[in-house]
Amino acid sequence: MKGLKIISTGSAIPSRNVTNDDLAQVVETNDEWIFTRTGIHSRYFCNEEESTLTLATDAARKAIENSGINKDDIGCIICATLSGDYASPSLSCMVQACLSLPQDIPVLDVNAACSGFLYGLEVCRGMLNATEGKYGLVIGAEQLSRILDMQDRSTCVLFGDGAGAVIVEAAQDAYYDSVLGAKGGKQILINGIGNKAQYIEMDGKEVFKFAVDALPKCIRKLQEKQTFTLDDIDHVICHQANSRIIDHCIKKLKADPDKFYKNMDHFGNTSAASIPLALAEMDEKNMIKSGDKLLLIGFGGGLTWAGTLITKE
Ligand SMILES: CC(C)(COP(=O)(O)OP(=O)(O)OC[C@H]1O[C@@H](n2cnc3c(N)ncnc32)[C@H](O)[C@@H]1OP(=O)(O)O)[C@@H](O)C(=O)NCCC(=O)NCCS
């Protein structure tokens, strides 16, 4: 079975920047409380013209432009999201329509909450292998601001909106592997269609405990499949929920903190968008060299977890 390599990245950031001080005007909180517990200073919220769809489409357009491939060669479109504009059509089908992407290909959404982008990569890999497609478009996009209870200070300060996208190529020689799992649980809960208010509810302490276990577990499980140590990895890109979760893992693994990318200070937790947003940001800063080994780790609602080894061409 062919693996995947990243050909290009793209991102879309909403226009409304919201600082912790801005939120302190809405709920009883302050920058010091939020920053010391989460590492978050600010996040972006969509304005009235923006949505998960506009962000996903913009990020995908940029990833396609940056790839240099012909968009007609895209063999599969996967969006990871829990906040698509519609329950149906899927976000993927809407991006397909907005960008006039090919029609005779698999097009679907994946919901694995904050692990969704890594689940999406693995679904894309399966689809490309099954259909002998060459390139896949994988997007992580969220407009979490529309499901935030702005009276609940324990959740509304944590999340933000954004989108990231990658073009991947299925290749026999790719340095790629992936581990996926889930525990089953409602510790992060958003009601379904027609069910009461659709706000993010969360047991923060339980989620924190889950996350600090999940992160090293993903690495351990990948090491059961592939021979590597963290010394072999150029960048570790974890889901950007909370800097304390990543710091905890760095300490537990006695790892080099410089390998762990963090950008939650200016994006907050953007769920499925956080890993592709980080990839795109690092790419823009020329931090990723061709052939660099990347270790991606997701964890979140579900309770899902995922680890991926991949390179960028
Ligand atoms: C959410 C989180 C930051 C809360 O931190 P915590 O230290 O567990 O805080 P607690 O929930 O114990 O609350 C401590 C106090 O701060 C208060 N508090 C909660 N949110 C607050 C806010 N935004 N500003 C100020 N005070 C706040 C609480 O009401 C509580 O007050 P009390 O002691 O008077 O009852 C932390 O649990 C966490 O990071 N969890 C993981 C969340 C996460 O990353 N989720 C996504 C994973 S994908």
User: b vs e for 44-65, b when ≥16 Cβ sit within 10 Å of the residue's Cβ?
Assistant: bbbeeebbbbbbbbbbbbbbbe
Domain 1-313, CATH homologous superfamily name and number: Thiolase/Chalcone synthase (3.40.47.10)
**CB 207 near ligand 1, within 6 Å:** yes
φ/ψ of residue 139, rounded to 5: -125, 140
- CA pair distance 192, 22, nearest whole angstrom: 29
Block residue for tokens 């026999």: 172
Is 239 a known active-site residue?
Answer: yes
Which listed residue (46, 111, 156, 239) is catalytic?
239
Phi, psi (degrees; rounded to nearest 5) at 256: -80, 115
Question: Ligand 1: which atom is nearest the Cα of residue 300?
Answer: 48
pLDDT tens, residue by residue, 261-302: 999 999 999 999 999 999 999 999 999 999 999 999 999 999
Ligand 1 centroid, distance to 205 Cα (angstroms): 8
Which of 76, 114, 238, 249 does the annotation list as catalytic? 114
Q: Which of 20, 111, 242, 269 is catalytic?
A: 269
Q: How far apart are CA 56 and CA 165, in angstroms?
A: 8
165-201, pLDDT tens digit by residue?
A: 999 999 999 999 999 999 999 999 998 887 777 899 9
Is residue 248 within 6 Å of ligand 1 at its C-beta?
A: no
Q: Is the CB of residue 139 less than 8 Å from the CB of residue 101?
A: no
Structure token pair of residue 299? 């964890």
Q: Is 218 a catalytic residue?
A: no
191 is catalytic: no
- For ligand 1, the distance from its centroid to the CA atom of residue 60, given in whole angstroms, is 34
Task: Give the three-class secondary structure for 187.
Answer: coil
Could you report the per-residue pLDDT of 196-226, keeping only the tens digit for each?
A: 778 999 999 999 999 999 999 999 999 999 9
| Confidence label for 305 from pLDDT (cuts 50, 70 and 90) | very high
Check pLDDT > 80 for residue 164.
yes
Q: What is the domain partition of the chain in residue ranges? A: 1-313
List the Cα angle 75/177/210 in 5-degree steps: 110
Pairing between strand 302-311 and 177-185? Answer: antiparallel
